[in-house]
Amino acid sequence: MGHTISRRGLLQGAAGVAAASTLAGCAMGGDDAEDDAKGETSASNPLGVKEDAPLEVVIFNGGFGEEYAKAHEAMYRQRHPQAEIKHSATQQIAETLQPRFVAGDPPDVVNNSGGSQIDFNGLVSQGALADLGELLDAPSLDDPDTKVRDTLLPGIVDVGSYDGKFLSLNYAYSAYGIWYSQKLFEAKGWAYPRTWDDMIALCKQIKAAGIAPWTYPGKHARYMSWPILAAAGKMGGLDVIKAIDNLEPNAWKHDAVKAAAEAYYQLAVDGYLQPGAEGMDHVQSQTEWCRGKAAFVSCGSWLENEQKAVTPPDFRMAVAPTPSLTTSDKMPYEAFRGTGSEPFVVPSKGKNVRGGLEYLRVMLSRQGAADFTRKVSSLTCVRGSSEGIDLGPGLTSVTGLIDASKGTAFTWLYSSYYRKLERERVDAASAELYAKRITAAQWCDKIQKSADEFAQDPAIKKYKRA
């Protein structure tokens, strides 16, 4: 080469680049937030929205698409005709919005969801989210005598609360459980097992019939941590789950967690998992399931919508709770994990916080919620909003599940407090467990070690579940 780079020269060059003055502004400076737009409060405008303040809404363009949001925006515009609404949708929420949070210029409503949602831990500890408490106490759009709080399904306020402040509205309601095809089960004369022993016995039959009893998304194996935790919670009671949420020492080594992990590990040991599933993502494994290659799959109630394109017409998917592990379980068989999903937040530095709250109030109206259910086939966190809507077989079974549980639905919060703990650590450990590379006891140890790490990391803000 005509001119060889000398080492010294390279270092000089690097130093020169590093030392060069900053141009065009500094990343961390950011502008100060402008004053929040506020208007007069009145009976028709209880949140005091400034009528002509523009509203910016950013939607996660995932399984639910963005069309439902446009309907909500139209409703908002009807109420506040002078407001200009900016709508955008993205799959990369974090990449898109993170810099705007820094710049103190976030949108007014954010649907913080999907694979690259912004970590709530950071958002909350930085005070980046507005308290939605005011919204809860505002009258609902449908009935001035009912507070918004009282129109929500139980658990919605808990799952969106951080240290007692309600910061995130989980708009969709998801029931998590084990899914099967009613058509397949009727044709074969199988009944969904209520106890784990029955499950193992049925798996043997299913395998003998030439079908893989279970499939699972090995690339997102956390899906298979859900039945373990649900079963553990049902066996040992909600305190087991709370200990996990509060990062207590040895929470993951509780007998109930161990027993549940052992139970599901048995599926791998006995060869009841579909071969190759460890290399599939959720769509691939769910598609195998839809094609009748496997009998069970663990998922949440968005499954029906997600699989719409590839589900055979008479498949009749249905969800059931995790089978009871013992006869002395603390919760009944009907108990399941039910919780809000699709978090919506109002950034505290937004220019139109009032408008953001009002937008959520519009979403939580009966009309807004029913419209969402109709458009995306998912339940919402609004009580009874699916009444009178023709639901698909999957969602119908979800409403059956909710009714049968008689208020015993529960959930864990560690996955929203400490997103990375579930998305990275539990996910990895579960992948190992179901591939039989570690045992159930090692699974507990591994996750406990990670949980301890999180508990001790000063960079992570801790939350306490009461």
Q: What part of residues 93-132 is at the interface with other proteins (CB under 8 A)?
A: 94-96, 98-99, 101-104, 115-116, 118-119, 121-123, 125-128
384 with 66: CB under 8 angstroms? no
Q: Binders of other proteins: how many residues, by CB under 8 A?
A: 90
Minimum distance of other proteins from residue 88's CB (angstroms): 6
Minimum distance of other proteins from residue 347's CB (angstroms): 9
* Nearer Cβ to other proteins (91/146): 91
308 binds other proteins (CB under 8 A): yes
As a whole number of angstroms, the distance between CA 244 and CA 322 comes to 19
* Strand-pair partners of 90: 60
Q: Which of 62, 343, 355, 356 binds other proteins (CB under 8 A)?
A: 62
Footprint of other proteins on 1-60 (CB under 8 A): 1-7, 9-14, 16-30
* Nearer Cβ to other proteins (13/249): 13
In eight-state DSSP terms, residue 195 is B
Is residue 391 classed exposed, middle or buried when 0-12, 13-18 and 19+ CB atoms within 10 A define those classes? middle
* Nearer Cβ to other proteins (334/427): 427
Binding mask 213-252 for other proteins (x = CB under 8 A): -----xx-x-------------------------------
* Nearer Cβ to other proteins (151/348): 348
Structure tokens at 57: 């809404």
Footprint of other proteins on 179-218 (CB under 8 A): 218
Q: Which of 67, 74, 84, 91 binds other proteins (CB under 8 A)?
A: 91
Minimal CA–CA distance to 76: which of 355, 383, 380? 355
Minimum distance of other proteins from residue 374's CB (angstroms): 18
* Nearer Cβ to other proteins (239/432): 432
Minimum distance of other proteins from residue 84's CB (angstroms): 12
Q: Which of 200, 310, 391, 455 binds other proteins (CB under 8 A)?
A: 310
Footprint of other proteins on 392-421 (CB under 8 A): 419-420
As a whole number of angstroms, the distance between CA 448 and CA 248 comes to 9
* Nearer Cβ to other proteins (51/119): 119
CA distances from 61 to 92, 94, 223, 346, 361 (A): 9, 13, 21, 18, 21
For the chain, what's the residue count? 466
> Other CB atoms closer than 10 Å to residue 41's CB: what's the count?
13
In eight-state DSSP terms, residue 273 is B
* Nearer Cβ to other proteins (259/429): 429
Q: Cα 96–101–105 angle (5° rounding)?
A: 100
As a whole number of angstroms, the distance between CA 86 and CA 99 comes to 18
Minimum distance of other proteins from residue 102's CB (angstroms): 6
> Other CB atoms closer than 10 Å to residue 394's CB: what's the count?
23
Strand bridging mode 85-90 / 55-60: parallel
Binding mask 255-294 for other proteins (x = CB under 8 A): ---------------------xxxxxxxxx-xxx--x-x-
148 with 361: CB under 8 angstroms? yes
* Local structure of 406: helix, strand or coil: coil
* Nearer Cβ to other proteins (149/419): 419
